[in-house]
Amino acid sequence: MKVALVGATGLVGTRMLQVLEERDFPVDELIPVASEKSVGRKVSFKGREWTVVSAEDAIAAKPQLALFSAGGETSHQLAPLFAAAGCRVVDNSSFWRMDATKKLVVPEINGDVLTADDYIIANPNCSTIQMVLPLAPIHKELGIKRIVVSTYQSVTGTGYKAIAQMNTERGIAEKERPEGDPLAPATSLGHWGEYPAVYPYPIDQNILPHIDSFLDNGYTKEEMKMVNETKKILRDDSIAVTATTVRVPVQGGHSESINVETRKPFTIAQIRSLMASEPGVTVLDDPSHNVYPMPLYAWGKDDVFVGRIREDFSQPNTFNFWCVSDNIRKGAATNAVQVAQLLLEKGLI
């Protein structure tokens, strides 16, 4: 089994390597791919070093599977070339998600859509994944009429440079992070050195209601991703979705405040039970003992955590809940590897 990893030196790429190893995915030969300036670098996987190669060399090696996490334009250019060589591509960028000819997959929800004809498979937006996972059984049982979501998204969603910007503003030294994990919190103060800012304003001690670029309708691309991807994954264009996405100065994962109107009446006990029935969802909902999901708790885990589940008294058939997930794992790397595992189970690689 030859597996190419495009974007192997990036934040999500390094997590993909970790998840592949944790899940004992059968990789006989790893083909790490990165930008031209990174060719020749080494990455560690399963106790050995692998040399980063160019995309051209990776395609020539004829891998059966390629995991992509290198941005939309890279996916646009390279994914069809890998696919033409007979390689299944699981792409983490936004480029293919709303293409009508490509599947957008959260394995627990709609893994059944994958067929032998699918050579480029899209991984959904991180914020969408963690929202639709607990909502899928509710939609199946009660029907979802409307979703209002506000996100509180970690700087890790922007990558290494965003972590550097925040920690530079905090005066935290890169060398003082626990070794072996770029997302782990630093242990003391120091100095990061000179890093270019990736946000238009400081992120430490601040909140930015701005993720991705603004569109003519006043929403950002990130907000419209949540609107459109939710309908595609849940296979229901009638669901009304509105989103406000916000960047917050945390590293543990993304959080979301979600208001849901259903077509049928429910009890809160029923909502808790339906959410708990979904694989990959953990209910943490005991406010009387201060039990509720938090980014610090979700960090490094694959589950989506839900809590603060309560009725919305302002209108019928509506409830609120709080949702947290590690956006680099289930929101990106883990979901992509789960898609690869599903392809393997179906005999497609």
d(CA 335, CA 123): 7
| 310: Cβ contacts below 8 Å, ≥ 6 apart | 268, 319, 320, 321
For residues 330 and 129, the answer to whether their CB atoms sit within 8 Å is yes
d(CA 135, CA 278): 9
- Sequence-distant contacts of 190-195: CB under 8 A, at least 24 apart: 192/164, 192/167, 192/168, 193/168, 195/161, 195/164, 195/165, 195/168
Burial 300-329 (b: 16+ CB within 10 A, else e): ebbbbbbbbbeeeeeeebbbebbbbbbbbb
Active-site choice (87, 139, 254, 323):
254
- DSSP-derived secondary structure letter, 238: T
d(CA 150, CA 321): 11
Active-site choice (87, 126, 139, 323):
126
254 is catalytic: yes
For residues 143 and 262, the answer to whether their CB atoms sit within 8 Å is yes
Q: Which among 335, 280, 281, 332 is positioned nearest to 307, based on CA atoms?
A: 281
Active site residues: 126, 254
